[in-house]
């Protein structure tokens, strides 16, 4: 009789916890749940529940990856609280020097940058994995701007100016010490609360808000100038974003009528709707990761006066192995 070992050269492993990372076609027996399982390939991106934030909040920033994420700042009221994610749970990190919300971010869990925020501030802070310290100030104070890149090569763009709360399209670059105002300005409708992704020389901005409502506009930056890209399928603001300019993910946000969990993928030219949405529709959320391994956390539902959200969701992109339980049906 043909056996699994005869075909593959080894027997099915018996384990107490599901293995990670997974290899397509991998089979194992989970002796804790008494089930045979298989690593199958997804045909569409899927969202799954992750660990809850310790402090429910909205308007927070995110940096890092799905298994080494960082969430900081936000509105609970205004806070400088920082939390670190290890792929399953959040733990408390160092507190920012200035409590703020609607700020932008760049970098990783152990080398992050937080800038702008509340009412349009120019303050910048740097995180080393343990504590925050002051960095160089933005030349244009702003809130609800875009941010991307690394702690030593970051980009800030768009948002609302300071006390006057006027929209701007200015772009600045950070070298790890100071910000430099760049000649390039965003070319589309000036707006704020948009999603962002990419690097200092290859950035992406999408969605956002400018009266009379939400926007579907996408803009691309090549290190010299901004150009218009493909429009989002769903106009929204306060959305999550991550990835690169040619492989980005947009999720959550608020349309002109309600919050949404819809998810879209960008290929450098156009956006495609993913059939699976976030389990909890939300906007003003924190986000980080890549197009195939993203993290969305916190936020608020509709209306904006709803309780703030602590839950986290993890996105696994199409073509990635996921665990399936083998049944006899």
Express each pLDDT in 285-313 by its tens digit: 999 999 999 999 999 998 767 799 999 99
pLDDT value for 20: 79
pLDDT for 3: 57
* 197 sits in which H/E element: strand 195-199
State yes or no: pLDDT of 1 exceeds 60: no
Q: What is the pLDDT of residue 23?
A: 73
Q: How many residues belong to the chain?
A: 329
Per DSSP, which regions of 124-201 are E strands? Answer: 124-127, 132-134, 146-150, 153-157, 171-174, 179-181, 195-199
| pLDDT score, position 233 | 98
Cis peptide before 303 (omega within 30 of 0): yes
Residue with more model confidence, 9 or 17: 17
The pLDDT assigned to 123 comes to 97
Q: How much is the pLDDT for 163?
A: 61
The model's pTM: 0.86
Mean pLDDT to the nearest integer, 312-324 = 83
Residue 49: its H or E element: strand 46-49
Give the residue among 231, 302, 316 at the shortest CA–CA distance from 261. Answer: 302
Q: Is the pLDDT score of 60 beyond 80?
A: yes
Portion of the chain with pLDDT greater than 90, in percent: 78
Task: Decide if 316 contacts 45 (C-beta within 8 A).
Answer: yes
Of 15-29, 211-225, 265-279, least confident by mean pLDDT is: 15-29
Torsion over CA: 90, 95, 98, 104 (sign): negative
Q: pLDDT tier at 9 (50, 70, 90 boundaries)?
A: low
Distance CA 284, CA 239 (A): 6
User: What phi and psi values does residue 62 have, to the nearest 5 degrees?
Assistant: -140, 150
Instruction: For residue 188, give every residue at least 6 positions away whose Cβ sits within 8 Å of its Cβ, in sequence order, or none.
Output: 217, 219, 226, 228
- CATH 2.120.10.80 matches 46-316: yes
Q: Mean pLDDT over residues 12-27, rounded?
A: 82
Q: Which residues of 250-268 are buried (b: 16+ CB within 10 A; e: fewer)?
A: bbbbbbeeebbbbbbbbee
Q: Is the pLDDT of residue 5 over 70?
A: no
Where do we find the tokens 């450098």? 268
Q: What was the pLDDT predicted at 7?
A: 54
Q: Please count the other Cβ atoms lying within 10 Å of the Cβ belonging to residue 214.
A: 26
Q: Give CA separation, 282 vs 47, 67, 255, 300, 317, in Å.
A: 14, 22, 11, 5, 20
Q: How confident is the model at residue 225 (pLDDT cuts 50, 70, 90)?
A: very high
pLDDT bin (cut points 50, 70, 90) of residue 33 is confident
Q: What mean pLDDT comes out for the span 78-100?
A: 97
Nearest to 302, CA basis, from 205, 207, 236:
236
The residue extents of the domains of the chain are 4-41, 46-316
- Candidates 105, 47, 39; CA nearest to 326 is 39
Q: What share of residues in the chain are helix, strand, coil (percent, to 5)?
A: 0, 45, 55
Distance CA 156, CA 196 (A): 10
pLDDT the model gives residue 327: 74
The lowest-confidence range among 139-148, 160-169, 180-189, 232-241 is 160-169
**H helices present in the chain, as ranges:** 4-8
């Amino acid at each position: 009789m043909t056996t699994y070992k005869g075909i593959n050269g080894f027997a099915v492993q018996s384990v107490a916890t599901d293995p990670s990372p997974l290899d397509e076609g991998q089979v194992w027996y989970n002796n804790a749940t008494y089930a045979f399982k298989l690593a199958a390939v997804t045909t569409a991106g899927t969202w799954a529940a992750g660990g809850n934030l310790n402090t429910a909040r909205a308007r927070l920033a995110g940096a890092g990856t799905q298994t080494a994420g960082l969430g900081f700042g936000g509105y609970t009221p205004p806070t400088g609280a920082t939390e670190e994610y290890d792929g399953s749970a959040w733990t408390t990190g160092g507190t920012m020097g200035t409590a703020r919300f609607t700020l932008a971010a760049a970098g990783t869990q152990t080398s992050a940058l937080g800038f702008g925020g509340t009412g349009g501030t120019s303050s910048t802070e740097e995180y080393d994995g343990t504590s925050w310290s002051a960095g160089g100030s933005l030349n244009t104070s702003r809130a609800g701007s875009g941010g991307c890149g690394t702690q030593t090569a970051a980009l800030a763009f768009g948002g609302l100016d300071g006390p006057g709360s006027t929209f701007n399209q200015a772009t600045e670059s950070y070298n790890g010490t100071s910000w430099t105002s760049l000649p390039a300005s965003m070319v589309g409708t000036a707006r704020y609360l948009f999603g962002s992704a990419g690097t200092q020389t290859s950035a992406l901005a999408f969605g956002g808000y400018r009266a009379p409502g939400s926007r579907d506009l996408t803009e691309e930056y090549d290190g010299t100038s901004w150009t218009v890209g493909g429009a989002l399928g769903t106009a929204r603001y306060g959305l999550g974003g991550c990835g690169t300019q040619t492989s980005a993910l947009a999720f959550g946000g608020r349309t002109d009528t309600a919050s949404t969990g819809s998810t879209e993928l960008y290929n450098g030219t156009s956006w495609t709707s993913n059939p699976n949405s976030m389990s909890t529709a939300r906007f003003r959320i924190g986000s980080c990761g890549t197009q195939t391994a993203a993290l969305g956390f916190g936020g608020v539902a509709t209306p904006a006066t709803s309780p703030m959200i602590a839950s986290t969701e993890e996105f696994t992109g199409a073509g990635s192995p996921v665990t399936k339980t083998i049944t006899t049906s």
